[in-house]
């Protein structure tokens, strides 16, 4: 139960922090009546109608997670040798922005 609660809490914070990179409404209008249906802000309507964020990236939260998953560590082994080299993929500008928004640096070298 606790792990599910922590996962929901983390997801909520990531959705809020990465709102500029996704279709998420960054500034939802305040509601007078909590029972009334939620209304989208003009900025959110513009994102949805253009199918792009203001930075020109068409991403849902799930698509952003999929894009972040392309940051990988690869192990290269040369044929007929025992030499192995670890390499990291180069982050895209959007991946850098996502990490900047959450205040975490992307490891650009492999720690021993």
Band (111; pLDDT cuts 50, 70, 90): low
| pTM, rounded to two decimals | 0.72
Q: What is the mean pLDDT of residues 87-107?
A: 90
Higher pLDDT residue, 67 or 57?
Answer: 67
Mean pLDDT, the chain, whole residue set: 84
pLDDT in tens, 9-26: 999 999 999 988 887 777
87-94 contacts, C-beta under 8 A, 24 or more apart: 92/67, 94/21, 94/55, 94/57, 94/59, 94/64, 94/67
Domain residue extents for the chain: 11-26+40-101
What pLDDT was estimated at residue 68? 92
Band (58; pLDDT cuts 50, 70, 90): low
């Amino acid at each position: 139960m606790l792990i599910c609660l922590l996962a929901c809490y983390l997801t909520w914070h990531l959705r809020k922090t990465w709102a500029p990179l996704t279709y998420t409404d960054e500034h939802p209008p305040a509601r007078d009546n909590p029972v009334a249906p939620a209304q989208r802000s003009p900025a959110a309507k513009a994102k949805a109608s253009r199918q792009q964020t203001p930075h020109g990236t068409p991403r849902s939260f799930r698509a952003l997670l999929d894009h972040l998953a392309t940051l990988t560590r690869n192990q290269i082994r040369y044929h007929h040798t025992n030499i192995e080299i670890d390499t990291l993929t180069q982050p895209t500008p959007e991946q850098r922005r996502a990490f900047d928004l959450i205040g975490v640096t992307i490891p650009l070298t492999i720690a021993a």
